Homo-oligomer: A and B are copies of this chain.
Amino acid sequence: MNIDLASPDSAPPCGDRVAVAAKLAALSHPARIEILLHLAGSEACCCKDVVQRLDLAQSTVSQHLKVLVDAGLVRLTPERPRSRYEVDREALAALSGAVSGLLLSCCAGPHSGPAR
């Protein structure tokens, strides 16, 4: 019943705690953070680039990429010679805002929360 309606910032209310948790789960693996940073560092790159950089098997990297794509943090363009992966910068910015909103609201103290 703790549905905070008065979300201060632009962050949408609470129904997305599950959604935020899902995206954070996608981010909660060092290899995937590494992949994200690598993708962000280049315009777009293919699976093999990531494999070479990460010292993981190709199948493993493909799985990690899939996790990121499924979470909506990375966009996949399945072109034929080689697929192109690129970070979804809007999604990352939105997630950044959501996480900050969540964490900072926890920092704010017992006053700001509607939980009472």
Contacts and interface: CB of A to CB of B under 8 A. Distances in A.
A43 B116 CA distance: 9
A69 to B, nearest CB: 15
Q: Determine how many copies of this chain the complex contains.
A: 2
A30 to B, nearest CB: 5
Interface string A27-62: 111111110111111110000000001111000000
Interface string A48-84: 0000011110000000000000000000000000000
Given A103-B92, A103-B93, A20 B37 contact: no
Given A5-B30, A5-B34, A5-B54, A41 B113 contact: yes
B42 A110 contact: yes
B30 A21 contact: yes
B33 A115 contact: no
Nearest to A93: B107
A100 B56 CA distance: 27
13 contacts: A3-B31, A25-B25, A33-B102, A37-B102, A37-B105, A40-B107, A40-B109, A43-B110, A87-B107, A89-B109, A92-B106, A99-B103, A100-B100
